[in-house]
Amino acid sequence: MNVNVINVDYNGLIPNNVDLNADSRVKAALEKWHPGYINWWNDMGPEGFQQSLVYLRTAYSVDPRGWAKFDYVRMPDYRWGILLAPAEENRKIPFGQHYGEKAWQEVPGEYRAMLRRLVVIQGDTEPASVEQQRHLGKTAPSLYDMRNLFQVNVEEGRHLWAMVYILQKYFGADGREEAEELLRRRSGSADAPRMLGAFNEKTPDWLSFFMFTYFTDRDGKMQLHSLAQSGFDPLSRTCRFMLTEEAHHMFVGETGISRTVQRTCEAMKAAGIEDPNDVERVRALGVIDLPTIQKKLNLHYSLTLDLFGSELSTNAANAYNAGLKGRFHETQIADDHRLNNSTYPVLKLVDGKIRQVDEPALPALNMRLRDDYTEDCAKGLLRWNKIIATAGYDFRLRLPHVAFHRQIGEFKDVHATSAGELIDDATWRKRKNEWLPSQQDGDFIGTLMRTEFDPGKFAGWIAPPKVGIDNKPGDFEYVKIET
């Protein structure tokens, strides 16, 4: 009988619902890894606010109906733990050549290397994002936003723990080595960079942070959904719980962009500006003009598309066949869940033109997940555009074409406009600042990035949120600053 462990044991050094006390080898390995993690957090975690009391949520249970409690915590004292969603009894492998067989509780020997790679890549992104965001506390537009940043950061730290647990428990000596490497690589480092492109980019300002949490954390959502389908049950369970936390990260992004757009529209209206493309006049109001918001969106969306890998990928086909990584909502799809005889339409570059071509479905799985991702992105755009339309402006934010500004896959060797028209190198160099943030755009946003430490006050470029975190009132002191 499987015991569904719902509540988390907070008595030991490492909170968990995996009965770590009964597993002295893994417990010892994690306790040995712990000081290195704390050192990493102190070196690479949020800069300057480690002694402040932050109103954070901590998981006390894995029951989706109520799992978090809120309290003031100093970040280094946050209880990073190992939390697996409850086991599903008699779970079967939902796809691939082992479709319908009993889900694995141990690593299948033949797939060990492939599985380890997936877990390591997933694990690598989590601390990377913390590193990318570490300087942002200093320019937080409010204590509310600062708290949200730190909440995201501590949870990405926990996601690293989630993957390190899998490595330490199931991958022996190699797992321990990988766990050390995860603390050694650094975002943007020349000799030990993080593994995936977007995680070595900068997050220079708060608009980038909101774009990152909207677009890049959403890649996290898609990938975690795919891994939550895994035939390797411990990975499935850990990803399922990570997804509960992930929702807040994307909420931070979506509402952050909404509030930025709203403030810009309000300021334009108050000043009687009719043309949102009148960048100079809008910027003089101390708000971020809509065309610059579009450019930031173009940048973060295109960087994130690269995280899906190539449109056609044998890695993706192999991982699916093996039963390790499934599709978004795999169990809700009505087909054979093996895909040996089906096709999927893939956008490709054929004779210098962008064409849709039917390809075998298995190697096209990255493309499919990327399409699901694009569809998932659209919701935010509807909301943001509604704010603009309600304010009476004739301006629409759009997702750029998938051929725009790519470093991975079919379109990596060509240049395209944000509308997907192919252009030559010279045209790209001349026009790219129409679609991507320029140095000046960045500098301008930089001038707005000033901290607002008074409870209930907000920097001038962003509107206050509609509701507080944990239903707190508008002037709630989300962070008690202590530097």
Span from 7-15, 18-26, 98-106, 213-221 in contact with Fe ion (CB under 5 A): 213-221
Report the distance separating Cα 100 and Cα 109, nearest Å. 19
Instruction: Give me 235's structure tokens.
Output: 């990975």
- Find how far residue 60's CA is from the centre of its chain: 23
228 binds ligand BYC (CB under 6 A): no
196 binds ligand BYC (CB under 6 A): yes
List, as own/partner pairs, every contact residues 363-367 make where C-beta atoms lie below 8 angstroms and the sequence separation is at least 24, other chains included: 363/312, 363/313, 363/314, 363/316, 363/317, 364/311, 364/312, 365/313, 365/316, 365/317, 365/320, 365/327, 366/308, 366/309, 366/310, 366/311, 366/312, 366/313, 366/316, 367/308, 367/311, 367/312
What are the backbone angles phi and psi of residue 344, rounded to the nearest 5°? Answer: -145, 135
> Pick from 220, 234, 323, 437: which binds ligand BYC (CB under 6 A)?
220
Residue 30 forms beta bridges with which residues?
Answer: none
Strands 479-480 and 353-360: unpaired
Give the nearer residue to Fe ion in terms of CB position, either 156 or 441: 156
Q: Are 344 and 371 in contact (CB under 8 A)?
A: no
Give the nearer residue to Fe ion in terms of CB position, either 245 or 306: 245
> Pick from 307, 324, 361, 388: which binds ligand BYC (CB under 6 A)?
307
Instruction: Give me 12's structure tokens.
Output: 């030991």
Least Cα distance to 84 among 172, 192, 5 occurs for 5
Instruction: Give me 199's structure tokens.
Output: 């995680």
> Pick from 107, 408, 448, 463: which binds ligand BYC (CB under 6 A)?
408
- For 197, 204, 337, 427, 442, the CA distances from 439, given in Å and listed in that order, are 21, 11, 48, 19, 5
Give least dist CB 54 to Fe ion, A: 17
| Segment (H or E) for 359 | strand 353-360
57 binds Fe ion (CB under 5 A): no
Q: Are 452 and 20 in contact (CB under 8 A)?
A: no
- For 117, 232, 277, 301, 373, the CA distances from 122, given in Å and listed in that order, are 9, 15, 40, 19, 17
- For 186, 220, 317, 343, 346, the CA distances from 313, given in Å and listed in that order, are 27, 19, 6, 14, 12
219 binds Fe ion (CB under 5 A): no
HSE toward the beta carbon, residue 169, CA cutoff 13 A: 21
Give least dist CB 420 to Fe ion, A: 29
Residues 126-165 that bind ligand BYC (CB under 6 A): 126, 129, 156
Give least dist CB 37 to Fe ion, A: 15
Give least dist CB 224 to ligand BYC, A: 6
Give the nearer residue to Fe ion in terms of CB position, either 208 or 321: 208
> Pick from 94, 309, 380, 400: which binds ligand BYC (CB under 6 A)?
309
Give the nearer residue to ligand BYC in terms of CB position, either 246 or 441: 246
Give least dist CB 1 to ligand BYC, A: 32
249 binds Fe ion (CB under 5 A): yes
Least Cα distance to 205 among 387, 450, 417, 378 occurs for 450
Give least dist CB 318 to ligand BYC, A: 9
Contact track, Fe ion, 127-166, x by CB under 5 A: -----------------------------x--x-------
238 binds ligand BYC (CB under 6 A): no
> Pick from 122, 139, 168, 255: which binds ligand BYC (CB under 6 A)?
122
248 binds Fe ion (CB under 5 A): no
Residues 256-275 that bind ligand BYC (CB under 6 A): none
Contact track, ligand BYC, 418-457, x by CB under 6 A: ----------------------------------------
Query: For binding to Fe ion (CB under 5 A), which residues are involved?
Result: 126, 156, 159, 217, 220, 249
Query: For binding to ligand BYC (CB under 6 A), which residues are involved?
Result: 118, 121-122, 125-126, 129, 156, 196-197, 216-217, 219-220, 223, 306-310, 313, 315-316, 325, 366, 408
